[in-house]
Amino acid sequence: MTHYGIFNSIRIIGNNCRESFAMVLCLKQNKLIFKETVMKIPQYSEMMNPLIEALHILGGSGSVEEINNKIIEMQRYTDDIVNELHGKGPQTEIEYRLGWTRTYLKKYGLLENSNRSVWSIAIDKKNIKKVNSKEVIDYVHDLRLEKEKNENAISDEFLSEESAGIKSWQEKLIELLLSLPPDTFERLIQRILRESGFYQVEVTGRTGDGGIDGKGIFKIAGLISFNVLFQCKRWQKSVTASDIRDFRGAMVGRADKGLFATTGSFTRDAIKEASRDGAAPLI
């Protein structure tokens, strides 16, 4: 009789490929062996049914962030896979592919979305739990071919809402922001905060200040106000939980809340750390 027991796992991210390699230590016939497993970033078609399941768990609707997080939780994707950037970012590869997943299911008539980016299962499709991904893809491709036949052109509506937008302006915006001098970027954040309802916004940017770039006050309904410190990072890389902890450490005794602005992205651990119970919340 053969028994398997997983004692430990070591994850290694492969060079120039989007796969997560795992060397798993197993017990087989009382002998320790190494078993190699590979977890690839799933294709958009492979995430159709997980997305439908996630929406049902969320009550039939959810924001893009809620849906993505639920899928990642359900599928137990590794941090390496979750944090892999699409191109130069800031969007992750998982987010990019899930954008296509939502688009195909919408064209198939299964999903609907509002102007507030809340996605839901269509009323007449509430009972559908699973789909045949090939059937969905074939259906959408047939629609596109029919569109080409009638108009002799590919309609822009068949491009993913998220991916099309990224290529048309978000990547250009990121490139522009990365080209700004540090002090100009800080002034831009200052202006954005003022336009968002902050007042007494000051850019400090002093060295040796724990990375604090400025401060301001945010008032809610004219009744409650918070002192807020902010940090600005013109990064292409991801902000980690360690970066969040360092920023929070610099805030101690100086402000109620913190705001971390970056041109990059945030790892899942960084997002969790920002809202950790018992610690000063970060935006």
Please write the tens of the pLDDT for every residue from 122-142. Answer: 989 989 999 999 999 999 999
The pLDDT, as a whole number, for residue 167 is 54
| Residue carrying the six token digits 């690839």 | 40
Q: pTM of the entire structure?
A: 0.56
The pLDDT, as a whole number, for residue 136 is 94
| Residue carrying the six token digits 């839901």 | 120
Pair 26, 5: CB distance under 8 Å: yes
The pLDDT, as a whole number, for residue 23 is 46
Cβ contacts of 152 within 8 Å, gap of 6 or more: none
Q: Which residues of the chain have pLDDT under 70?
A: 1-39, 115-116, 151-168, 205-210
The pLDDT, as a whole number, for residue 2 is 43
Which phi and psi angles does 14 have, rounded to 5°? Answer: -70, 145
Pair 64, 114: CB distance under 8 Å: no
Angle of CA points 150, 155, 156, to nearest 5°: 175
